[in-house]
Amino acid sequence: MKSTPLTERHIALGAKMAEFAGYNMPISYTSITDEHRAVRTAVGVFDVSHMGEFIVRGKDATRFLQSATTNDVSKLKPGDVQYSSLPNKKGGIVDDLLIYRLDDAPEMTVDGEQSYMLVVNASNETKDWRWLKRLARGLEVKMQNISAKTGLIAVQGPKAAEALQKLTDIDLKSIKYYSFRRGRFAGCNNVIVSATGYTGSGGFEIYAKNKDLVKIWDKVFKHGEKWGIKPAGLGARDTLRLEMGYCLYGNDIDDKSSPLEAGLGWITKLGKTDTFPSKERFQKQKTEGVKRRLVGFVLDGERRVPRHGYEIESRRGAKIGVVTSGTHSPTLDKPIGMGYVKVKFAEPGTKIMIVAGGKKLEAVVTKVPFVEPGV
């Protein structure tokens, strides 16, 4: 099992540790609910160094990514970030990812090359790397896997900018959502500070060399103390993303789910001239309609949490789908979940039944996010 540069810090803080994507990761420090609320109301810090990072550069870099991803990479300017997906050739998703346009930095640009950083899910790092290498054949593209030497923390919450500002000359509040700046942070050079995250509460993701990450972590906590900063584990990361209706690879999306089924049509640019895997399948789905949709649902009057894999039935007892994610929402104080259902049952307000063993739980399809961004 792998460790991150911060593993010893987590253990010293008394974190509950467990294996995740091959890494020894903190699940919680105090409680998932406490850490969740810290992020929603103040500021919390996640170690997400297990994520994978690839550098893609070369004269064909933009062309390559246009042909490998669903979103329109040509729209990115230096300093921009884009959420996208890697489609496979069977109408499914290899992974979802972030794409950073890096060639604002002279060291990343040579003779007109374009340069990007891809941030992929930890569990898919090897799979994604092999997939992209295959797609890059014949193109003037250089790829570098920098995952093993790159550390990443996510400082999330409405007070994140105030908590971090004294650590950098970068004007943090000037960084627009889904963009980044590169500079000096916590005494370390060449740090990427990105206005991104997977919580819906604002904040930043900070990319640095592994050797600098402990120093950055310690200074973040020292300077953030007056803002009520707390460490947060993967448990709170999951409840926060689910309240926002954000997909988790392996649960809500996978190699058999279409981005159009998953509500990711907004990152599937069928109008771009570049061909990408399964583009024709997705065009057909858009024209004819999909047969199932990923929906959110709420259980009122219940305390039992819907779990991944539970069947979903109509009120008449017909099998109509399956739960992909579920949790108890600390903000709403009730169970929530997501799952795929047949299109006729996807309308908000539709009553459905979650089959939990021998018990059937009443639920109502609802729009996502379950809570407003920034809450």
pLDDT of residue 373: 84
pLDDT of residue 190: 95
How many domains does the chain fold into? 3
Pair (328, 310) in one structural domain: yes
Pair (351, 260) in one structural domain: yes
The reply to whether 375 falls in a domain is: no
User: Do residues 209 and 53 touch, judged by C-beta distance below 8 A?
Assistant: no
User: Do residues 276 and 267 touch, judged by C-beta distance below 8 A?
Assistant: no
State how far the Cα of 322 lies from the Cα of 307, in Å rounded to an integer. Answer: 10
- pLDDT digits (tens), the chain, 375 positions: 999 999 999 999 999 999 999 999 999 999 999 999 999 999 999 999 999 999 999 999 999 999 999 999 999 999 999 999 999 999 999 999 999 999 755 554 455 679 999 999 999 999 999 999 999 999 999 999 999 999 999 999 999 999 999 999 999 999 999 999 999 999 999 999 999 999 999 999 999 999 999 999 999 999 999 999 999 999 999 999 999 999 999 999 999 999 999 999 999 999 999 999 999 999 999 999 999 999 999 998 888 999 999 999 999 999 999 999 999 999 999 999 999 999 999 999 999 999 998 899 999 999 999 999 874
Q: Domain boundary residue among 106, 128, 147?
A: 147
Pair (63, 87) in one structural domain: yes
Angle between helix 125-135 and 61-68 (nearest 10) = 120
State how far the Cα of 261 lies from the Cα of 55, in Å rounded to an integer. Answer: 30
Identity of residue 372: E
The reply to whether 176 falls in a domain is: yes
Q: Domain boundary residue among 212, 242, 272?
A: 242
The reply to whether 15 falls in a domain is: yes
Instruction: Centre a 10 Å sphere on the Cβ of residue 124 and count the other Cβ atoms it contains.
Output: 21
243: left (phi over 0), alpha (psi -120 to 50) or beta: alpha
pLDDT of residue 103: 73
Pair (35, 162) in one structural domain: yes
Angle between helix 234-243 and 32-41 (nearest 10) = 60
pLDDT of residue 300: 87
Pair (249, 328) in one structural domain: yes
The reply to whether 89 falls in a domain is: yes
* C-alpha pair distances (Å), 224 with each of 165, 180, 181, 217, 266: 10, 21, 20, 10, 36
The reply to whether 374 falls in a domain is: no
State how far the Cα of 109 lies from the Cα of 125, in Å rounded to an integer. Answer: 25
Q: Domain with 302 in it: what CATH number?
A: 2.40.30.110
Pair (251, 237) in one structural domain: no
State how far the Cα of 122 lies from the Cα of 134, in Å rounded to an integer. Answer: 20
Q: Domain with 56 in it: what CATH number?
A: 3.30.70.1400
The reply to whether 361 falls in a domain is: yes
pLDDT of residue 104: 56
Residue range of the domain that includes 291:
245-366
Instruction: Please give the distance of CA 353 from its chain centroid, rounded to a whole number.
Output: 28
- Helix (H) or strand (E) holding 310, with range, is none
Pair (267, 356) in one structural domain: yes
Pair (143, 153) in one structural domain: no
**Polymer length of the chain:** 375
User: Do residues 17 and 10 touch, judged by C-beta distance below 8 A?
Assistant: yes
Pair (42, 70) in one structural domain: no
User: Do residues 158 and 202 touch, judged by C-beta distance below 8 A?
Assistant: yes
The reply to whether 371 falls in a domain is: no
Q: Domain boundary residue among 242, 268, 294?
A: 242
Give φ, ψ of 220 to 5 degrees: -60, -45
Pair (251, 232) in one structural domain: no
DSSP assignment, residue 132? H
